[in-house]
Every structure is written in structure tokens, then in C-alpha cells.
Amino acid sequence: MPSTNSAWVARDLAHVWHPCTQMKDHEGELPLVPIRRGVGAWLEDYDGRRYLDAVSSWWVNLFGHANARINAAVREQLERLEHVILAGFTHEPVITLSERLTAIAPAGLTRCFYADNGSSAIEVALKMSFHFWRNTGHSGKRRFITLENSYHGETLGALAVGNVELYKDIYRPLLMDVLTVPSPDAYGREPAESAAGYARRRFADLEATLAEHAHETCAVILEPLVQCAAGMRMYDPLYLKLLRSACDRHQVHLIADEIAVGFGRTGTMFACEQAGISPDLMCLSKGLTAGYLPLSVVLTGERIYTAFYDEYAKLSAFLHSHSFTGNPLGCAAALASLDIFREERTLEHNRGLAAHMAERAAPLAAHPHVAEVRQRGMIVAIEMAADKAHRTPYPWQERRGLRVYRHALSRGVLLRPIGNVVYFMPPYVITPEEIDLMVEVAREGIELATCA
Ligand SMILES: *Cc1c(COP(=O)(O)O)cnc(C)c1O
């Protein structure tokens, strides 16, 4: 069989059920793209076409595909130990990674509990918070507070604390009940209002909910600074500052889901740094392994850790596990990634790239159907709207973003708009010239998608 796109697509569609996909779409004009290899910020298909990976393959890739340094680290680890049970046993990569993560994490996060994907890390954090309160004599605390438009993953606990209706609605009968407060998303502010002013105003809702429900609440869970899956909705760091002090006052945990925003996406290593706060629990995945392997971790501090530490017969231990918890190959990739951050001064380098993206994306704001161009570090989002003045969105049925996606593919760029939001979240190896291409193709795509 010739090794062409269409040959692979035919075999794929016979057996592979793709994630987050209406499979019928692939029978029509929406091509499935089989990828033969990746190099740096580029992916290449079986027909020899190349695509600039402007979404870091779903926000996971940091230093390009087939990165020589990370490849070597994983290969070296592979020759020594591919995996070992992490209960009762341990290994060098997980020890070193835990030392390195606790050294760079916000102050007070000294303990690492591993899982193997983002949703599982959220489950760990939720269970750990609930169990902490039980172990410390507060068994009435069993609820969670979440933000409108938040996303925390697809497993049932993670889905319950999320608030993207498209993913959640159908499963509602299966989900635990949560308290949901309005999002501080700065897109919702009044024309003359600052993002910080809006964050303060929205925080009043959360404060009121805490005042009423703290006695039955384990934790507030949120994505610091950017609610990515809801369309890169951004808010002011002040909200996190206010939240930290409110959680202390009301004796409620703060769970920071940095699964998407961690590892430099917002300009700092962790988004919480921009508010100068430390969460009680911090979830990491995606960029943790530079996008190489499934691995996640929940960091917490001594206060929570010691609440589980006792004689076995007290039955206070955290009896949670996943088969691939702390996988050595994933840890080796993560360590190589942290080496690159340090030695290549990635955060500093990214400031130049972010400034270049800002400059190139700015003119898009003048487009009659672009209601906002927003940015936080290495994330840029462009909000298309039917009516710019009133910020009226296009009806979702029109699938405007899909038109941008298809145009971009035809021009060799992988963009994957979320509804009406076109965004860039590129790997850090992208060049200024590649940024120019990415923004130009997005501009063309928006033009096409909004012209009729
Ligand atoms: C992707 C994501 C998750 C879920 O991670 P998975 O590895 O896909 O299960 C959770 N929270 C946020 C903020 C994410 O972006």
C-alpha cells in the first residue's frame, strides 16, 4: 500500500475513534491529517506537506518535536529502566524531579504526588483536599467552589468542577454538585473599567459564596490567569491575591490548576507567581514533560502532608494510585526540559517572542469582526464577533472557527480555534519569521471566516 495521506486515513477511520471529535466530520470536508514526523515547531504529513504547530499539539509541546536533547534523555533512561512500581519502590528520575520541582515551585510546596495525566491530577487534588479536612475533624467540608468557564479535565470529578457546558451538560446526572461563581474574565468588563477593577468586582461574588458556604467547602479550584479551554479567557492577577487571603480567612484550600498555564506559558514559570501567591495544591501536567509523555503531579505543603502521616492503623493515609504514577521516562523528559529552561534562559528568550507576537497581532484588533486581541505571555487570543460594538458572538452553529482551521491547514499552519476564538500557543522554539507566518495565516483565516 502506498504510504500516502489517503491510505493512512482509510485505515485510521476503520478503527480509531478520535478524541473530542464528531467522527462524521471526517467523511466530509474536514480532513484527518496523518503525521509522519515532527521537527521543531513543524509537523509533516505523508504527502510531504508541513504544518507549523501553533497550538503546541494541544498545549503540551514546549521545545519542539523530536528535540535532540529530550530525545537523548529519554533514550538514556529507556536503556536503564522503563518503569517500576512507585509504591514501596523509587527511582532516580522521580527523586531528582521532585527536588527540582519543589525548588522552583511557589514557596511552601514541598511534596510531590504523581499521576499520569491532567485529569487524574485534578482527581488527586480534590480527594486530597476533602480527605485533609476529614483527617483534621472537618467532615462537613465536602463541596468545591469553581469558576464559570473553567476547565479541569474530562474524568467525572474533574468534569464536575469544570464549567464548559459543551463538555459537561450531557453528563450532569453523573456529577457531584458544585458551587459556581462568575468568571473574572476581563472580556466581561465595562468599557471604562480596568481588568483589575473588574477582578475586584467579580471577587465580591466569590467572597459572598465563601462567607455563606466555607463551613461545607473543601477548596476553591481555578486556572490561574488564563481559562484556556473556554477560549483563552484572561483575568487580572489581583483576583488570585484576593482569593489567597480569602481562602486563609475562611479556612478553605486553594487549588491552582496550572496544567495548561504552567511552565512558562503566561510569561513566568508558574502563573501564580504573577500574583505572588502560593496555592495549597498545585496541579501540573501537559508541559511538565515538554509534551513528550503522559505525566502529572500535584504539589502540596507540609500542612496537608502531615495530616495524612500517622500510624498505619489510624487509616489516615492517602490510598490513591495509578499504574503509571511517576513513570521514569516521563520524569527523564521533565528533567531534560527543566535543564533547557535553565541553560537556555527560556523565560527570558520568550519575552522577545511574546513581544514580537504582540506587535504582529495588534493590527488584528482593528478588524471589523475582531472584538478583542488579548495576550498573557506566550498565549495570544483573537476574539471574533458578529457585532464588534456589542460583542455579540457568532452563533456556534456557524462554526466560524472551523473555517479558520481549514484555511490555516491549507496554508501549512495548525491553528485550532475554540469556537470564535483564534489563538496562538506555540512551542518556545518558534522563530520570529514563523510567528509572522502564523499571524498572517490567522489574519487571512479570520478575513475568510467573517466575510459572509
Ligand atoms: C488539559 C487540561 C486538563 C486535563 O488534562 P488531561 O491530561 O487532558 O486530562 C486539566 N486542566 C486544565 C487547565 C487543562 O488545560
Residue nearest atom 12 in ligand 1 by C-alpha distance: 152
* Cβ-Cβ contacts under 8 Å for 87 (sequence gap 6 or more): 321
Measure CA 203 to chain center. 22
CA-based angle 248:249:253, to the nearest 5? 35
Superfamily of domain 33-66+348-449: Aspartate Aminotransferase, domain 1 (3.90.1150.10)
Ligand 1 site, CB within 6 A: 117-119, 122, 151-153, 223, 228-229, 257, 259-260, 285-286
pLDDT at 29: 81
Residue 269 in grid coordinates = 514559570
Distance 47 CA to ligand 1 centre (A): 32
Rounded to whole angstroms, how far apart are CA atoms 191 and 423? 23
CA dist., res. 115 & res. 260, Å (int): 16
- Cα(7) to ligand 1 centroid in Å equals 32
**What pLDDT score was predicted for residue 2?**
63
Task: Say which residue the cell 480534590 belongs to.
Answer: 126
User: Which atom of ligand 1 is closest in space to residue 257's alpha carbon?
Assistant: 13
Atom index in ligand 1 nearest the CA of residue 153 equals 4
> Residue 158 C-alpha to ligand 1 middle, in angstroms?
9
- Would you state the pLDDT for residue 452? 81
Task: Give the CATH class of 70-343.
Answer: alpha beta
pLDDT digits 0-9 by tens, 243-265: 999 999 999 999 999 999 999 99
For residue 388 the three cell numbers come to 464588534
Give the residues across from 344 on adjacent strands.
none
Question: Along the chain (452 residues), what's the average pLDDT of each consecutive run of 10 residues?
Answer: 87 96 91 96 98 98 98 98 98 98 98 98 98 98 98 98 93 97 97 96 98 98 98 98 98 98 98 98 98 98 98 96 97 98 98 98 98 98 97 96 97 98 98 98 98 87
Q: Which residue has a Cα nearest atom 7 of ligand 1?
A: 118
The protein residue whose alpha carbon is closest to atom 6 in ligand 1 is 118
In angstroms, what is the span from residue 121 Cα to ligand 1's centroid?
9
* DSSP per position, 335-394: HHHHHHHHHTTHHHHHHHHHHHHHHHHGGGGGSTTEEEEEEETTEEEEEE-SBTTTTBPP
Per the listing, cell 505523508 goes with 46
From the CA of 223, give the closest atom in ligand 1.
13
Give the dihedral sign, CA 403/409/415/418: positive
Sheet holding 421-424, edge to edge: 370-376, 379-384, 421-424
Q: How many other C-beta atoms lie within 10 A of the C-beta of residue 387?
A: 12
pLDDT, position 28? 82
Angle between helices 195-213 and 238-250 (to 10 degrees): 20
Å from CA of 423 to ligand 1 middle: 17
pTM of the model: 0.98
Q: Partners of 144 in the beta sheet?
A: 219
pLDDT tens string 319-378:
999 999 999 999 999 999 999 999 999 999 999 999 999 999 999 999 999 999 999 999
Q: Ligand 1 centroid to 10 CA: how many Å?
A: 30
204-209 contacts at long range (C-beta below 8 A, 24 or more positions apart): 205/181, 206/145, 206/181, 206/243, 206/246, 207/242, 207/246, 209/145, 209/179, 209/181
Residues whose CB falls within 8 Å of the CB of residue 151, separated by 6 or more in sequence, listed in order: 162, 163, 164, 167, 223, 227, 228, 229, 230
Q: Taking the domains of the chain in order of start, what are their residue ranges?
A: 33-66+348-449, 70-343
Please answer whether residues 378 and 428 qualify as being in contact, where contact means their C-beta atoms are separated by less than 8 angstroms: yes
C-alpha cell at 413: 499552519
Backbone angles phi, psi at 387, to 5 degrees: -125, 105
